[in-house]
């Protein structure tokens, strides 16, 4: 996930985490944050460090990317994670739209 | 059952030619390969089976549903050595498309009663925890994608993304979507269809044939689905 240094609550949600009084939480797991941190502008580097996620920064653009949590499998459960892609006209497509019918998600490429 | 093709093409126009042949389907595009991080797709074709309630019942796994025409191609001895080697390796990639297609149809008919449906423990248990390098490769590839788009794609895009993509390749050599996506951009001649050979080039250190051989050959290239 790309960031310019500060994470929004939407970005945290995309990562599967939520900011609570006890820290960053996901399901029954909470990770405490430094006491003096500005909770209204969470630094991406601090969050990544606390959650065991790699963060890389491109020195020219100043843009950073946070990778997934190391030590965890790509799927933590059998629940389809929230994911929005796009169709070929550029319209966002939330995969939860498929609920109600079986879906076979097939990855392919022209290459 | 809905079939939802997700194209892992950085440029939707490259994939659009093929989507036109199956207009009844909802075609999605993943230009940033976020399904690698979110769903565990590391090559194509791969699939995920999702039931009516949004529960994954199988995958991510290698998912050939059609026999590759390469399997039946006769290799002419007069062809260049590299082409002969590449075809020979491609022929040795294991796949059982008839069995996989039959399994999908069985699930379509029988739903949760299908013998191919897996439990949560089986699905998660088949996936290896991400090593730190693999997690870092996700971030490196995403930075490259961002810079590619920022530079307007094409040769300037590849130039901007090159160091981050190469880093992703080095960190996670088993991720073929990272490598094949990058290679094809530099080995395809302008105006031509995507180059499936993806041979040696001056931009990235790897190429399809040598990387497949380094990883154990065609037999190890694709993870058998167990179907």
The whole-number average pLDDT for the span A91-102 is: 92
B110 lies within 8 A of chain A by CB: no
The whole-number average pLDDT for the span A6-35 is: 90
What pLDDT score does B204 carry?
Answer: 97
Average pLDDT value for chain B = 91
What pLDDT score does B155 carry?
Answer: 93
Does a cis peptide bond (omega within 30 degrees of 0) precede residue B187? no
Select the residue of A70, A109, A110 nearest B132 (Cβ to Cβ): A70
What pLDDT score does B22 carry?
Answer: 64
- Residue B223: band (very low, low, confident or very high) from pLDDT cuts 50, 70, 90: low
What pLDDT score does A63 carry?
Answer: 95
How confident is the model over B172-181, as pLDDT tens digits?
999 999 999 9
Select the residue of A78, A108, A111 nearest B194 (Cβ to Cβ): A111
Cα–Cα nearest to B32, from B168, B189, B171: B168
How confident is the model over A52-91, as pLDDT tens digits?
999 999 999 999 999 999 999 999 999 999 899 999 889 9
Please check the confidence at residue B146 and state whether its pLDDT lies above 90.
Answer: yes
* Contact (CB<8Å) A110/B194: yes
What is the pTM assigned to this prediction? 0.91
* Contact (CB<8Å) A67/B39: no
Mean pLDDT lowest among B37-46, B86-95, B168-177, B212-221: B212-221
What Å distances lie between residue A87 and B30, B31, B100, B129, B148, CA to CA? Answer: 9, 11, 26, 31, 21
What pLDDT score does A78 carry?
Answer: 96
The whole-number average pLDDT for the span B78-98 is: 90
Q: What is the ipTM of this complex?
A: 0.92
What is the distance between the alpha carbons of residues B141 and B144, in angstroms, rounded to a whole number?
5
What pLDDT score does B64 carry?
Answer: 87
Cα–Cα nearest to A89, from B142, B34, B193, B13: B13
């Amino acid at each position: 996930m790309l960031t310019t240094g500060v994470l929004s609550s939407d970005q945290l949600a995309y990562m599967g985490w939520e900011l609570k009084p006890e820290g960053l939480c996901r399901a029954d797991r909470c990770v405490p944050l430094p006491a003096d941190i500005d909770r209204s502008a969470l630094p991406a580097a601090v969050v990544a460090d606390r959650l065991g996620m790699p963060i890389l920064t491109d020195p020219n653009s100043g843009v950073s990317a946070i990778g997934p949590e190391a030590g965890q499998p790509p799927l933590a459960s059998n629940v389809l994670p929230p994911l929005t892609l796009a169709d070929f006209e550029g319209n966002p497509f939330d995969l939860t739209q498929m609920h109600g019918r079986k879906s076979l998600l097939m990855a392919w490429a022209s290459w | 059952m809905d079939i939802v093709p997700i194209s892992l093409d950085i440029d939707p126009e490259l994939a659009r030619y093929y989507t036109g042949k199956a207009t009844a389907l909802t075609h999605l595009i993943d230009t940033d390969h976020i399904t690698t991080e979110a769903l565990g797709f590391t090559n194509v074709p791969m699939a995920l089976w999702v039931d009516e309630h949004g529960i994954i019942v199988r995958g991510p796994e290698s998912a050939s549903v059609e026999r590759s025409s390469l399997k039946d191609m006769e290799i002419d001895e007069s062809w260049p050595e590299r082409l002969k080697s590449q075809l020979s390796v491609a022929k040795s990639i294991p796949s059982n498309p008839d069995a996989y297609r039959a399994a999908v149809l069985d699930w379509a008919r029988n739903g949760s009663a299908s013998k191919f449906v897996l439990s949560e423990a089986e699905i998660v248990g088949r996936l290896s925890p991400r090593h730190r390098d693999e997690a870092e490769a996700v971030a490196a590839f995403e930075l490259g994608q961002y810079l590619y788009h920022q530079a307007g794609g094409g040769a300037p895009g590849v130039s901007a993304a090159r160091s981050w993509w190469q880093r992703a390749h080095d960190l996670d050599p088993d991720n073929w979507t990272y490598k094949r996506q990058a290679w094809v951009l530099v080995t395809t001649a302008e105006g031509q269809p995507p180059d499936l050979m993806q041979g040696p080039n001056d931009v990235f250190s790897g190429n399809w044939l040598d990387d497949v051989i380094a990883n154990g050959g065609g037999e190890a290239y694709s993870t058998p689905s167990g179907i």
